Amino acid sequence: MAVVITVAQQKGGAGKTMLAANLAASLAATSRVALLDIDPQRSLARWHTLRATHGDRVAALEFSDVSGWRLGRELDQLQRDHDFVFIDSPPQIDTDARLAIRGADLVLIPVQPSPPDIWAAEGTLKLAADERRAARLALNRVPTGSRLRESVEADIAARKLPVLHATLGNRTVFASAFAAGLGVTEAAPRSTAAAELRALLAEIQEITRR
């Protein structure tokens, strides 16, 4: 059965879809990976369409955008046929979001180093706790040496919120890779951004290892 990772965040612009796409693309070279897009914006679907233009030059990813009453059955099928399933969930806490979190082995909540992002994550953390699912904040678009970053990290520590140690920097290569339908480990494998992504993925794999 696949490890299911649901990427969730109620606040827009935190990098939810980018995170799901990059993690999936990084794993696809060595594992059977599926993407499930249940966000009404369908940004992950557009990324996957762009990815298809690269043909067999990139590792294959199965993609689905089934939602609603068929979601549970679709997730069961994807779990049987893959090693990892990444779900890009809707920004609002609705039935689909609850099902995606309920079916997850880990809920990832991307946050930029700003108080509004941390506040917005509280609802998702509560939902994950209610469903008895492991959850971690993932700091994204982190500027180097920022006082705001230090303040937010201190706030997270003081409140004992679950957070990944690895972080992703505020690097343009993430956006340019995504715009091409690629992950950063594919578009710029020797970059600092790729190293950050691999470190984040290694930590996630350690948490979800069975």
pLDDT in tens, 172-197: 999 999 999 999 999 999 999 999 99
Place of tokens 């004992």: 160
Average pLDDT, the chain: 93
* Cα(102)–Cα(138) distance, integer angstroms: 19
Range of the domain at 136: 3-208
Q: pLDDT-based confidence at 210, cuts 50/70/90?
A: low
- pLDDT mean over 151-160: 87
CATH number at residue 96: 3.40.50.300
Tell me how far apart the alpha carbons of residues 162 and 109 are, in angstroms, rounded to a whole number. 10
Q: Higher pLDDT residue, 137 or 95?
A: 137
- How far apart CA 80 and CA 193 sit, in angstroms, is 32
Total count of domains within the chain: 1
The whole-number average pLDDT for the span 88-116 is 91
pLDDT confidence of 170, banded at 50, 70, 90?
very high
pTM value is 0.95
Q: How far is CA 63 from CA 66, 73, 85, 163, 180, in A?
A: 10, 15, 10, 28, 17
Q: Which residues contact 175 (CB under 8 A, 6 or more apart)?
A: 18
d(CA 148, CA 133): 29
Tokens, residue 84: 């990892």
